[in-house]
Structure 1
Amino acid sequence: MHDDRTDRPAIPSLSGRPWWAANEVLAFLVELVALACLFGWGFTLGDGLAIQLLLGAGVLAVAIALWALFAAPRARFPLPLAGVLVVKAVVLGGGALALYAMGHPVAATIMAVVVVVNTGLAETFRHRPAATA
């Protein structure tokens, strides 16, 4: 189906820059949510506020270190795609598992689906030239 006035598809392609930018924003938000979930889960592991804060901060620090060292766009130790995807699965999937462990199975499932779709789209966009419009 085409728009007769411009001879362009009536529905914009998912490979255009606005879709890429929206997916990147979603990826950042998913990362923040995963980190918050990991902190929350770590916090629930201990007895007493000091131990809870240490465990929450410790889990959070490990996740941030993994991400910064191996999965960030400017990672200290860049990995091939398979390695980056493993780190993303550990951190982002860990966030979904943490949410599940805290008693929120529906939210955890939704988060896991969003992580998979977002990561899949990000890799698809990364390997296709951006549409010019």
Structure 2
Amino acid sequence: MKAALLTLAFLLELAMLAAAGWWGFTLDAGWLVRLLAGLGAPLLLAVVWGIFCSPRASVPLPAPAKLGVQAASFVTGGLLLALAGQPVPGAVLVALWAVDKALLTHLGDPV
């Protein structure tokens, strides 16, 4: 069960990055702005995640702070997906992450 939840967590992280890219590439702007936003938004989220949330984070945070950064990252991904005209998938992304995180925490997995 734990392996399935960890796999889902990883897939949700990828979906969060894809949502940020989707938002950038669907902006009503010139191609250069879309390109920069479509590549830059997921890159920024990935850098934040890598620095603070990854298992080998360069800046280890206490569990509540790490959970806060994770939640902010997923809410950002969901919001960007909603701004790209996909509010239901954006809400589903955040809800699935919250349920997955709650189940992992219940099973004793650290934040």
- Segments of 5+ residues of structure 2 without an aligned counterpart are none
User: Which residue of 2 is the match for residue 103 of structure 1?
Assistant: 85
- Segments of 5+ residues of structure 1 without an aligned counterpart are 1-18, 129-133
Name the CA distance, whole Å, in 2 between partners of 1:112 and 1:83.
18
The one-letter code matched in structure 1 to 2:96 is: V
Point out the structure with max Rg over C-alpha. Answer: 1
1:111 shift after superposition? 1.6
Could you give the per-residue CA deviations for residues 56-97 of structure 1, whole angstroms, max 9, x where no partner exists? 211111101100000001101110111111111121121111
| Aligned counterpart for 1:86 among listed residues 68, 82, 94 | 68
Equivalent pair of 1:27/1:118 in contact (CA under 8 Å): yes
Correspondence 1:116 to 2:101? no
Aligned length: 110
The one-letter code matched in structure 2 to 1:56 is: G
Q: Aligned Cα RMSD in Å?
A: 1.7
Equivalent pair of 1:38/1:95 in contact (CA under 8 Å): yes
User: Which residue of 1 is the match for residue 37 of structure 2?
Assistant: 55
